[in-house]
Amino acid sequence: MVVLRDAEAVAEAVRRALDGATPEERPGLERAAALVEEAAAASGAELRARWVAERMAEAGIESGYDSVAAIKALRGAAPGLGLLQAVQLAKEAEAVRSSK
């Protein structure tokens, strides 16, 4: 699975918007800038874990990311995802989740 990052482009757009912002717009744009910075700081593992967690939530799976049902849900959410890849994603996501 490839993690795409476009946070830099988004951050630049928010910075440009802040440069020309009215006093009323500034608080919202400053909050947006902080959120973009937070997202940009996330590691690839954290982004993949977030993706897995979202797929698990959609499938109604609350724990046991390495269960057969969880692996099946991952493979169903991403056609072409191999069994080994799904297992690796699930293990990585579980490790990230348990480290928090």
pTM of the model: 0.71
Closest-CA residue to 53 (of 29, 81, 73): 73
The residues spanned by each domain of the chain are: 7-41, 44-98
Distances in whole angstroms, Cα of residue 18 to Cα of each of 13, 15, 34: 9, 5, 12
Helix (H) or strand (E) holding 3: none
Distance, CA of 8 to chain centre: 15
For residue 10, count other CB atoms closer than 10 A to its CB: 16
Per-residue model confidence as pLDDT tens digits over 61-96 = 988 888 999 999 999 999 999 999 999 999 999 999
Per-residue model confidence as pLDDT tens digits over 27-56 = 999 999 998 888 888 888 998 999 999 999
Q: Tokens for 60?
A: 């109604």
